[in-house]
A and B are shown apart, each in its own frame.
Chain A
Amino acid sequence: MAKVFHVKSDAWKAGVKALLRTYAVYGPIESTFGIKYSLLDEDNVDKLVYLGARIYPSIKFFLYPVQEDVVKEIQPKETILMGVKGCDLRAVATLDSVFLDPDFIDDYYKLRRDNTIIISEDCFKPLDVCFCSCLGDTPFPEKGFDLNLSYLEDKILIEVGTERGQKVLDEMDIELNEADATQIAERDELRKRVAETILESNKKFKFPEDIYNLLKNNYESEVWKQHAETCVSCFACTNVCPSCHCFLLQELKDFAKARVWDSCQSVGYARVAGGANPRKHLFERFRNRYYCKFVYRVERFGLRACVGCGRCIEACHGKIDMREVLTDLAK
């Protein structure tokens, strides 16, 4: 079994401070504008908070920047990302499947990935838009973290996921005690309650966990047209999504080249030179996002590319809620 320790919150904070010397550490802090995900420094590290649910922006912004020169050499600083939730870790796995595909490894992604230490957390205060549990996922990280934190009443449990995580823990130089069975049981009970809360808050949405087959049988459904009606093609949904990976290579001067995020929601995305376009109509592009996430990427990489983080629901200018679309398809 993986090692689990417990520490007091204050000791943990002091430990994080010690890490600032070596790493670029990002975490959620209290600011005048509410909670902000920021680079930590000596001044703001005291305002580090436990964020009950996932962060904004998604982890994608760190591993796969909006725009990146992909010809010149880069040397990213070793980075620690704190506050990452289970949903984002699952999204990272889907990005890995694309960018670390052994046939062609994207070295820019790989370099950032290798340089990033992930300190994840259990999600204890899910948002209204969260629906990971409805997809059969857990609201706590299962794998893919270096360290995982569970905030209990008066202490933090730390699960070590990798050797690198252990090394960071050692560098924090804090007093660690191994967690006992009662503490682990307390954590597990809390985790169970959170999953139940998510299912409860999504009660009014009724769709099966097996969305792959739901979609397979509904390609021609009118639901796509109905829900696409309020879409304004703003690409917010694909931008905020932690698992959307599409980009366009932009040619710069002197053979320089940038990899810039792109969106399948854009009308020119699939257009070819003669003018042929497999997704001319907005509803076809709208439908494509769902198929990509729940069908195509499952078939291509074996991973569902929606992790139920609800960011696209929050971001949508057309007030389109993925859960309502799925509910209508299941009717």
Chain B
Amino acid sequence: MSIYKPIKAKIDRVIDETPTIKTFVLIPEKPIEFTTGQFVEITVPGVGEAPFTPSSSPFVKDKLDVTIMKVGTVTEKLHEMKEGDVVGIRGPYGKGYPLDKMYGKEVLILGGGVGMAPLRSFLLTVLETPDKFKRIVLCYGARTPQDIVYKEQFEKEWMQNKYLEVFRSVDRKDETWKETEGVVTVLLDKFKMDYDNAVAVVCGPPIMMKFGTLKLLELGFKPENIYLSMEKNMSCGLGKCGHCALGRYFVCKDGPVFSYDMIMDIPEIWE
């Protein structure tokens, strides 16, 4: 059996999140069991393959959501696909979030743009057993109010959830926006945490990852408590093709989630 061969998955539903982001609910031939933070490779036959992190809860077994931003060849083709169409899927790959290291601690979820995709899966996972965590704070930033993903879930579920504190910002507001304006890091000044012991889970565009991490360090987060989802170019997802190499690591195998102390000495991390 070839490690490169995908199984088929039917598109069950397509949800428009923003003008450039859609969530696809997939039903794979065989259930793909993943832990939160692991990723899959999705194939558009004849076009290409690309890595995505499921944005759904790992507790849901028969379906799997991926939230995809349209940025290039493969993602454009995916955005043209409809309910009933078939894609290829293989995985799960990599190491997810080390939940056991977070039990009993204050947890900060820091997301930007489509970076909320893996974080939603993480959030849904921690919300299964919220008592295991001392506190759960979610900070999310998007460019404009139109660019916010999972709008309904944010407003109807998460912002109402008693275990969860939610802060949101947009870079440029419009007349509908009543919350914060500014880059997502400004949200971190709105509350205090037990920084010495808190853990942060960060995902977003490279620039946000960089400044987010620097801000967290400044606040007193320990490097080993900052978990970053590294986005690197990937092809195989299996530690073979070389594309995702980040110094001594293959991001696809050793990551995509790294604690900052693992990678802080590597020069190429933020690009």
Contact = CB atoms under 8 A, between A and B. Distances in A.
B135 interface: no
Contact of B2 (A107, A248, A276): A107
Given A99-B240, A274-B71, A300-B250, A70 B4 contact: yes
A116 to B, nearest CB: 19
Contacts of B4: 70-71, 249, 257, 259
Contacts of B236: 247, 249
B206 A103 contact: no
B238 interface: yes
A95 to B, nearest CB: 10
B5 interface: yes
A330 interface: no
B3 A104 contact: yes
A251 B245 contact: no
Interface in A72-108: 98-99, 101, 103-108
Interface stretch (A139-147, A184-192, A263-271, A309-317): A263-271
The prevalent SS among residues of A at the interface is loop
A277 interface: yes
Q: Which of A108, A247, A295 has the most CB of B within 10 A?
A: A247
A264 B6 CA distance: 26
B3 A105 contact: yes
A108 B242 contact: no
B22 to A, nearest CB: 15
A1 interface: no
Interface string B247-258: 111100100000
Q: Which of A107, A274, A278, A299 has the most CB of B within 10 A?
A: A278
A146 to B, nearest CB: 25
A296 B6 CA distance: 29
B255 to A, nearest CB: 13
Given A246-B241, A278-B271, A273 B49 contact: no
Contacts of A277: 271
Given A106-B240, A246-B242, A253-B45, A300 B235 contact: no
Interface in A258-291: 259, 262, 264, 269-274, 276-280
Contacts, number: 110
B117 to A, nearest CB: 13
B189 interface: no
A219 interface: yes
A259 B238 CA distance: 13
Interface residues of B, number: 41
A245 interface: yes
Nearest to A271: B233
B48 interface: yes
A271 B245 CA distance: 12
Q: Which of B1, B231, B248 has the most CB of A within 10 A?
A: B248
B40 to A, nearest CB: 14
A104 B240 contact: yes
Given A249-B49, A270-B233, A276 B271 contact: yes
B205 interface: yes
Given A98-B239, A107-B2, A272-B232, A251 B49 contact: yes
B72 interface: yes
Given A104-B3, A274-B205, A249 B241 contact: yes
Contacts of A280: 271
B70 to A, nearest CB: 10
A71 B206 contact: no
A17 to B, nearest CB: 37
B268 interface: yes
B71 A296 contact: no
Nearest to A108: B2
Contact of A104 (B43, B48, B232, B239): B239
B138 to A, nearest CB: 23
A262 B205 contact: no
A99 B236 CA distance: 12
Interface string A40-76: 0000000000000000000000000000001100000
Given A248-B235, A249-B236, A279-B268, A296 B247 contact: yes
Contacts of A219: 267
29 contacts: A70-B4, A98-B239, A98-B240, A99-B240, A101-B240, A103-B238, A104-B238, A104-B240, A107-B3, A245-B240, A247-B235, A247-B236, A247-B240, A249-B241, A251-B47, A253-B45, A255-B8, A255-B43, A270-B243, A271-B233, A273-B69, A273-B75, A274-B205, A276-B271, A278-B232, A279-B271, A280-B271, A292-B242, A299-B248
Given A104-B3, A247-B236, A248-B235, 5 more contacts: A104-B238, A254-B46, A255-B6, A262-B243, A274-B206
